[in-house]
Structure 1
Amino acid sequence: MEGEAGDGGSPEEGSDAGELIAFTDDEEPEDDDARRARSRRTLLLLAGGGTAVLVAAGLAGALALVHPLMGPDDFQGQGAGSVVVEIPPGASAGQIAEVLARAGVVASARAFVGAVEQRGEEGNLRPGRYRLRRRMAAASALDLLLAPGSRIRRRVLIPEGLRGVETAARLAQGTGLPADQFTAIIAKPDGLGLPAYAKGAAEGFLFPATYDVERATTPRDLVRAMIRRFRHAAAHLDLEEGAKKIHLHPREVVIVASIAQAEGGRVDDYPKIARVIYNRLASGAKLEMDSTVMYGLGKHGIVASNAEIKRDTPYNTYMHRGLPPGPISNPGEAALRAALQPAKGDWYWFVTIDPEHRITKFTDKESEFVKLREELNKRLGQH
């Protein structure tokens, strides 16, 4: 289809409809100023439909040349040297970009924000201290921020079976924060998210795991994190529903798990220990667990002396029937699972005959229990 080109002429015959046609008016000579002015007025004609659409001449080519110049400043490559930056909690991609730009990591905040938006990583940026390099391409800086190895942090390992006071000491040792602050918070954990069935006591609910410690982490933050991890494990195990199935209160499940954790040498023994506890509870017998006696006395060990057994505390299960009033350790997930899913068996007693190698034997015969106890006493007497 042919179309009018206005005063500047018409397209050649055979030109395709929609073809972009550049044209100029060369009838009169021009001086340099006139030529520059004319260049700015150069137009493209889009032929078709009988309508002339005027577009700035050379638009596509101009954009191709100008766009790189219009983009944000950015370094090239992986950078060099080392610099530590701290990303505050709740910082947006723009705020993080400003931190990086001020530290000389990236050439401009805009370049970093652009890299984040292009890859959709804003939700994956985390607070903390990071070791980066100076003069990095924005994309390379983003890669390092997302790499776990770039994050500078301390880690504290809390093993299974520690008591609250021991947990406080371990946290203080691993973080350098005051032990008395941990102790005070554990003693009064108000507002830290304990489940209602904990009855306001943290013992038993300080979940053993490895915890990351940032520079801004406080003792209260860490204790809250431990309780949050317990709740996560409890949800994973469906602890509350599981407790109903075995006709226990959720807190009682944690108490049983804490005894299994304190008494057990190996993970495989936990379900058997839980079964011994349930068998004794069902028969109305006293639990007679040395670990509970020692907890009530503020001591450690799984073998109580005759004198210790005769000392009355709420945790003396040689004197008092039923479960002790609260957990005696902070159990891990394996012990919690064992309390919810005890092994099947008629065992009524167990003895860890070799504490060093964590060898425990189970029996439903009192005569065999006596022999196992004698074997343990003999071993302990030799050491």
Structure 2
Amino acid sequence: MSDDLGLFTDEPTDVRRRRSDPEAFRRRKRRRWVTALAAVFVVVLVGGGVLYGASQIVQLGAYEDFSGEGTGQVVIRVESGETVSAIGSTLADQGVVASTKAFIEAAEGDRRINGIQPGFYLMRKEMSGEAAVEHIMSPDAKVGRVEVRGGMRLEDQLAPDGGTTPGVLTRLAEATCVGTAECVSSERMHEVAATADLRSLGVPEWAVGPASEAEPRRRLEGLILPAVYDVKPGASAEDVLRDVVTRSATMLQAAGLPQAAEGTGHTPYELLTIASIVQSEGIGKDFGKIARVIENRLAPPAMRLGMDSTINYPLDKPALLTKPEDRDRPGPYNTYLNYGLPPTPISAPGQDAIIAAEKPTEGSWKFFVKCYPDGTSCFADTYEQHQVYIEEARARGAF
């Protein structure tokens, strides 16, 4: 008996269990297989999920890159003076490209990349480096850009065809509407321009007082200078106006205001108003002479300015010519009836118009008229000579 026990003891445990209870052994064996299969299934599921999540990432040497054109939308900003590497870093941080290196490698050897301008760009998530380079250099990518030209006004203007031409405030509002970004309405932009604290918007201290006394919807007139502005899509009306007005304040300072007003007999705000009339009444080469006509008419014995541009300003008409009934209409901007300057600027004056207002060309002229089709004006000392120029202008088809 001892020999039998010794031989049985040396057998493997599975063999002893199978001999003692075959059915229990089979049940245990099935459970092991189920457990093993379950473990394999979990590994495959988890591994498959990881692989699926990274299916768009391609390992290229020492850097990662997405494949394809990307999906969705994301707005990124390119700052002035940024390098290709800095732009790539921004794109990587925003999930546009998988790595900075992917963008740099795709841009290498493409000289067009150096032409990327500061501003906002509408990109897609998970783009390959090559796709990101091609897209950011395409015209469709640049968004939020608003060009304010000399002579433009805050309000929409009546167009000759009976429609309207968007003014500065409407253009700024429209620039916030890109892709899925929440838009600022034109009405909201106008509301903020008329009611927000002027200092909080960045209006220069020397302009806060007179602008505060203006009709609310006119108080920012002339304080948004001609330039190209980059508006962030989805930004609030307050942020948009603050950025634009603050930048304009810097340009006003570069044009000499407020210091240049010293010794002119005018406040800085009055010089800005003169500059806006100069901008609206003529072309660049005549700005200095037009500014001198205004000065000569304001000097004692004072004359009325008689500027058609000021008549049409509250009527939201861009034309220079006026109708008799409009010239007879009372109002603070009617320089045919009133002496002195209107209460606010009437348009966006460029730096050359501001400098002309600060330093008018020397001369004794008191009259001028657009006398050539290209916009060139003729200047006269007397009313009689002025009438001659008007007839010549008509003969040339100048107006």
Q: Is the TM value for this pair above 0.5? A: yes
Q: 1:134 to 1:285 in 2, by over 3 A?
A: closer
C-alpha deviation, 1:80, in angstroms: 5.2
User: Aligned partners of 2:284 and 2:226: how far apart in 1?
Assistant: 15
1:184 equivalenced with 2:173 (yes/no): no
User: Aligned partners of 2:128 and 2:297: how far apart in 1?
Assistant: 69
1:57-115 residue CA offsets vs partner (Å, 9 max, x unmatched): xxxxxxxxxxxxxxx96238xx753336636789x999964543xx5x326x9x89xx9
1:145-167 residue CA offsets vs partner (Å, 9 max, x unmatched): 99898964242222211221132
C-alpha deviation, 1:213, in angstroms: 3.4
Pairing 1:1-383 to 2, within 5 Å after superposition? 74-75=63-64, 81-83=68-70, 86=74, 97-100=92-95, 105-106=97-98, 129-130=122-123, 134=127, 136=129, 152-166=142-156, 167=167, 168-173=169-174, 176=177, 177-190=184-197, 191-198=200-207, 199-200=211-212, 201-264=219-282, 266-283=283-300, 284-354=302-372, 356-376=373-393
**Does structure 2 retain, via aligned residues, the 8 Å contact 1:350–1:363?**
yes
Please give the root-mean-square deviation of Cα atoms over the aligned residues, in Å. Answer: 4.0
The aligned amino acid for 1:171 is: L
C-alpha deviation, 1:258, in angstroms: 0.7
**Does structure 2 retain, via aligned residues, the 8 Å contact 1:270–1:338?**
yes
C-alpha deviation, 1:269, in angstroms: 1.1
The residue matched to 1:258 in structure 2 has which SS?
helix
User: Aligned partners of 2:281 and 2:188: how far apart in 1?
Assistant: 29
User: Aligned partners of 1:359 and 1:268: how far apart in 2?
Assistant: 8
**Does structure 2 retain, via aligned residues, the 8 Å contact 1:255–1:327?**
yes
1:235-255 residue CA offsets vs partner (Å, 9 max, x unmatched): 112211111132311100110
Unmatched runs of 5 consecutive residues or more in structure 1: 1-71, 116-124
C-alpha deviation, 1:222, in angstroms: 2.9
Question: Which deviates the most, 364-373 or 167-176?
Answer: 167-176
Question: Which deviates the most, 249-258 or 281-290?
Answer: 281-290
User: Aligned partners of 1:255 and 1:95: how far apart in 2?
Assistant: 42
Question: Which deviates the most, 293-302 or 145-154?
Answer: 145-154
Identity %: 30
- In structure 1, the residue matched to 2:162 is none
The residue matched to 1:239 in structure 2 has which SS?
coil
Q: Whose RCO is larger (CA < 8 A, sep 6+)? A: 2
Q: How many residues are paired up? A: 290
C-alpha deviation, 1:374, in angstroms: 4.0
The aligned amino acid for 1:165 is: E
The aligned amino acid for 1:75 is: E
User: Aligned partners of 2:194 and 2:222: how far apart in 1?
Assistant: 12
User: Aligned partners of 1:370 and 1:319: how far apart in 2?
Assistant: 21
* TM-score under structure 1 length normalisation: 0.63
Q: 1:145 to 1:340 in 2, by over 3 A?
A: farther
1:314-369 residue CA offsets vs partner (Å, 9 max, x unmatched): 11122221111111112122211211121111111101134x53131111122111
User: Aligned partners of 1:303 and 1:152: how far apart in 2?
Assistant: 38
Q: 1:360 to 1:310 in 2, by over 3 A?
A: same
C-alpha deviation, 1:370, in angstroms: 1.9
Q: 1:153 to 1:127 in 2, by over 3 A?
A: closer
* TM-score under structure 2 length normalisation: 0.61
Unmatched runs of 5 consecutive residues or more in structure 2: 1-60, 79-85, 106-117, 157-166, 178-183, 213-218
Q: 1:277 to 1:375 in 2, by over 3 A?
A: same
Q: 1:235 to 1:145 in 2, by over 3 A?
A: farther
C-alpha deviation, 1:271, in angstroms: 1.2
The residue matched to 1:245 in structure 2 has which SS?
coil
**Does structure 2 retain, via aligned residues, the 8 Å contact 1:260–1:270?**
yes
1:23-75 residue CA offsets vs partner (Å, 9 max, x unmatched): xxxxxxxxxxxxxxxxxxxxxxxxxxxxxxxxxxxxxxxxxxxxxxxxx9623
C-alpha deviation, 1:278, in angstroms: 0.7
User: Aligned partners of 2:135 and 2:313: how far apart in 1?
Assistant: 46
User: Aligned partners of 1:87 and 1:212: how far apart in 2?
Assistant: 13
C-alpha deviation, 1:292, in angstroms: 1.3
The aligned amino acid for 2:146 is: V
